[in-house]
Structure 1
Amino acid sequence: MMKERFILPDGLVYLDGNSLGPLPRGAAARVGTTMELEWGRLAIAGWNRAGWIGQPMALGDRIGRLIGAEPGSVSVGDTLSVKVFQLVAAALAMRPERKVVLSDSGNFPSDLYMADGLAEALGDVQLVVVEPEEIAGRIGPDVAVLMLTEVDYRTGRKHDMAALTRAAHEAGALTVWDLAHSAGALPVELAGAGADFACGCTYKYLNGGPGAPGFAYVAPRHADTARTILQGWLGHAEPFAFEPGYRPAAGAERMRVGTPPILQMAALEAALDIWDEVDVSELRARSIVLSERFIAAVESACPDIALVSPRDPEARGSQVSFRFEHGYAAMQALIAHGVVGDFRAPDIMRFGITPLYLSEEDIDVAAGVIAKVMTERLWDDPAYATRSAVT
C-alpha cells in the first residue's frame, strides 16, 4: 500500500477511485514547476527546452508498461471519447467491405455515442449492440470492428480480451478495446492478446486528475497503415513544415490531434512516478483479497442489497457493485457518513477497490457504515433524495 503518496480527504474511506483517483502528493509541486520554471521562465521555448512536444509519446511509453503495449505504440492526448472515435474510424477504413461495428449493452454510453455518430456520418455503417454474453456468437463476416470496454463500468464484469480478440480475428474483424476500467486496475496484455487498437483514460485508477488526457494504442503491425478521420496538425509527419496537405506521422504518433494539455500532463507525470514502482500483478492480487473481504462483510450484514458484480473475482475488474432500489439515496447517506462510492442509474451502488491506498481496516470501516445505513434505513431521509448533477 502507498497511501502516504496520496492526499485523501480526512475522515473518509474513498471507494471512488474508479471514477476519479485521489491527488498524488507530488502532483501540485510538479504542476507548479511546470507553470513557474517552464511556462513562467521559458514561455514558448518550453516546447523545445522543457520537452513539452514529446510528452505525448514519453507518457505513452510509461502507460504502455501497465497495459502490455510495445514501446512507441501508445500516444497520450485529447479525451477518451476522441480516441474511441479515431480508432473505430481507423479500423473501419481497414475493413471497407464490412459495415458493422459490434458492441455490447454494457459498454460506456460515450463509446456507443461516438460509434453511432461515426456510423451516421459515414452513412453505410451500422452500430449493432447486443448483450455482453451474446458477443461471441454475433461476431460474423459482416463485422468490421469489435468495440468493447474490457471491464463493464456498472457491474465490473470483465470480458476475456484474448479470447474475443482471437474470435474477431478468425472472423476477419479488428478490435478496439476501451481500458477505462482496466488500466491501473488489473494486468492488461495488449500485445499478448493480439489487440489491434485500444484506448483509455488516465483520471480513474491512474490518478492523473480531473480532465486528465486519454491515450490511444495502435498495434505496431498497423502503425503505418492505420488512418484516422481526425487529421490533426500534431498527427502530421512534419507539423512545422506547414504543408497544406496531410501526411500522417509514423506509428502511434499519427493518433495525436490537438495541442497537448501540458499542465494536465504534468499532473499525470507525477502520478506515473508512483506507478513506476508498482507491480500490477501484485496489485491485482491485493485487489481480489480486499474485494472478497468487502463482499463477504456487506452481504452478511445487508440482505436488502444484491451483488451485481460477478462472484468469481477473476471475472470482474477492481470494483464491486450492488443493486438497491433506493441506491442513489443510500449512496448519499454513505457519503454523509464518511464512505465515498458512487451511483449509476438506475439502481447500482458502485465501489472502487484501489489497493494503492486502501487497507483491510478501510474495507471493514466501509462495510460497517454500509450496514448501519442499510439496517437503520438512514437512506430514507428526504435530504438524500435530491439528485446532484454528478451522481
Structure 2
Amino acid sequence: MTDFTKTKALFQIPEGMIYLNGNSLGPMPKSAPDRILDFMHNEWATDLIKGWNTKGWFMQTNTLGDRIGALVGAEEDSIVVGDTLSIKIFQAVAACLALRPDRKVILSDNGNFPTDLYMVEGLLKLKEAGYDLRTPNPDDVMEQITDEVACVMLTEVDYRTGRKHDMKAIIDKAHAHGALVVWDLAHSAGAIPVDLSGCDTDFAAGCTYKFLNGGPGAPAFIYVAPRLIADVEPALSGWYGHAAPFDFDLNYRPMPNKIDRMRIGTPSIASFAILEAAMDAWDGVDMQALRARSIELMTLFVGEVEARCPGLTLAGPRDMNARGSHVSFRFEHGYPCMQALIAKKVIGDFRAPDIMRFGITPLFLDEDDIRGAVDILSDILKNETWKEERFQTRSAVT
C-alpha cells in the first residue's frame, strides 16, 4: 500500500495553507531546489556542452518519457517529453489527419479545454477547405463517431466539472469506424489510473505541471502507439527528431520507427531537472491505491460541502468513479467566494462562468485538510465575507 503520509512530507506547502489546486499547478517537491542546484553546479557549470553526452541530457526526452509512461500504462519507448501541451496536441491531430487523408471530420466536444480547439482551428487554416471541427455535448460524442470521422480529439477529464470520458469505449467505437483518437491527459496523468496500451490508444498528450508537480511551464509529453509510429509523419519537423541530427542535412528525415520523431527542438534541460525531482515523488506510488484514496477524499469533500454550504451545487457526476480527481461546485458568486477562500489560505480556483474548482490530490491532502477547508468555506458563506469589495476585482489569472 502507498503511504500517503510519507508522500505528503515530500512537498513544500506553506504553513497554514490548504492547497486544493494541484489540478492546476502542483506544489513544489522539497527535493526540487537541491536538484536544480545540482544541475547548475555539477552538470552545467562543470561539464558545459559535454553534458549532452556525459550527463545524458540528449536522451532525457525519452528517459523521462518512460517514467511518465509507467504512470499511464504506456509501452517502453512510446513517450517523449518536451515542448508544450498545445504543440503536442497539434502534432497528434496533424498526424491523425495525415493517416486518414480521405476523411475531413475532427470530432471533439464543447467541454474540451479551449486551447485544444484553438490548435485544431489553426491547423485547419493550413489545410485545404472542407475540414469540419465538430463540438457536440460530451454525452453526445459516442453517437457522432461515424465513418466520416478522421480524428476524435478529447480531454479524458473535463477541466471544469471533472466528468470523465470512457476511454476504452470511445476508442473501440472509433476503431470500429476506422477513426483514430487523440487523448488530452492534462487532468488524468497522476490523477487517475490510465492504461494507454491496454485501451489500444492511438495518440495521447499531457502536461507535467498539474498532478505530476513538475513546476510552472513544465514540459509536455506525447504518446504514439508503437503500431503507428513508423507511419507517422511529423507535421512539425525539428532537428531533434531528425534521423541523424548531427549530419546537418538540409532536408528532413524523421527518426525511423521511433517515438524520437515526435521530438522537435532543443528542450529545456533545467526544466527536466525539476521534473526529475517531481517524478522521484511518484516512485512506489500505486495508481489504484491513489484512485481509491482520491475517491474517499472527494466523497468526504462533497458530503461536507453539501451538508454545510447552502447555495453551492455540485457540477459534474455524483458518481465519483465517473469523474477525475477534482470537484467543482457552481455558485453565482463563485469568483469573489474563491478570492475570500484564498485570503484564508484555502487555495482553489475559479472557472467561468460560475465554477469553484477544488483539486483532490492524495499525495499531499488528507481528511483534516478537507474538513478544514469546508470549515472556512462554510464560515465565508455564513458571514457573506465574499461580498467585501476587495474580493470583487478580477485578477489576470483566475
Question: Shared topology, TM-score over 0.5?
Answer: yes
Query: Which one-letter code corresponds to 1:58 in the other structure?
Result: T
Paired residue for 1:49?
Answer: 54
Partner of 1:157 in structure 2?
163
Contact 1:116 1:126 (8 Å CA) reproduced: no
What is the match of residue 280 of structure 1? Answer: 287
1:123 deviation in Å? 2.6
Contact 1:218 1:251 in 2 (8 A): no
Q: Matched residue of 1:260: which SS? A: coil
For residues 210 and 21 of structure 1, the distance between their equivalents in structure 2, rounded to whole angstroms, comes to 8
Matched, 1:145 2:151: yes
Taking the TM superposition and a 5 Å limit, the aligned residue runs for 1:177-196 are: 177-196=183-202
Compute the displacement of 1:374 (Å): 1.1
Displacement, 1:127?
Answer: 1.1
Aligned to 1:5: 10
Report Cα offsets for 1:212-266 as digits up to 9, x if no partner.
0000000000011111110011011110010111111132111101111101110
Could you report, residue by residue, the CA deviation over 1:131-157 in whole angstroms, capped at 9, with x for unpaired residues? 101100111111100000000000000
How far apart, in 1, do the equivalents of 2:358 and 2:274 lie? 24
The answer to whether 1:219 aligns with 2:225 is yes
- Tell me how far apart the structure 2 counterparts of residues 227 and 28 of structure 1 sit (CA, whole Å): 39
User: Does residue 1:386 correspond to 2:365, yes or no?
Assistant: no
1:360 alignment counterpart:
367
Once residues 230 and 299 of structure 1 are traced to their aligned partners in structure 2, the CA distance between those partners, rounded to angstroms, is: 48
Q: Which residue of 2 aligns with 1:81?
A: 86
In structure 2, give the amino acid aligned to 1:218. Answer: V
- Distance in 2 between residues matched to 1:337 and 1:37, nearest whole Å: 41
| Runs of 4+, deviation exceeding 2 Å | none
Which secondary structure state, in structure 1, belongs to the residue aligned with residue 385 of structure 2? coil
Alignment equivalent of 2:172, drawn from 166, 170, 187: 166
Instruction: Give the 5 Å matches for 1:112-151.
Output: 112-124=117-129, 125-151=131-157
Q: 222-231 vs 201-210, which deviates more?
A: 222-231
User: What stretches of structure 2 of length at least 5 have no aligned partner?
Assistant: none
Cα contact 1:80–1:201 (8 A) shared by 2: yes
| Whole-angstrom CA distance in 1 between matches of 2:125 and 2:382 | 49
**Aligned-pair identity (%):** 57
Task: For residue 119 of structure 1, report the CA deviation from its aligned partner.
Answer: 1.2
- After superposition, give the CA deviation of every residue in 1:142-195 in whole Å (9 maximum; x if it has no partner): 110000000000000000000000011011100000000000001000111111
Q: CA deviation at 1:309?
A: 2.4
Cα deviation 1:3-29 (Å, max 9, x = unaligned): 110111111100000000000011111
Q: How many Å separate the matches in 1 of 2:338 and 2:122?
A: 33
After the TM superposition, which residues 19-38 of structure 1 pair with which residues of structure 2 at under 5 Å, given as runs?
Answer: 19-38=24-43
| Residue equivalent to 2:260 | 253
Which shifted more, 123-132 or 31-40?
A: 123-132
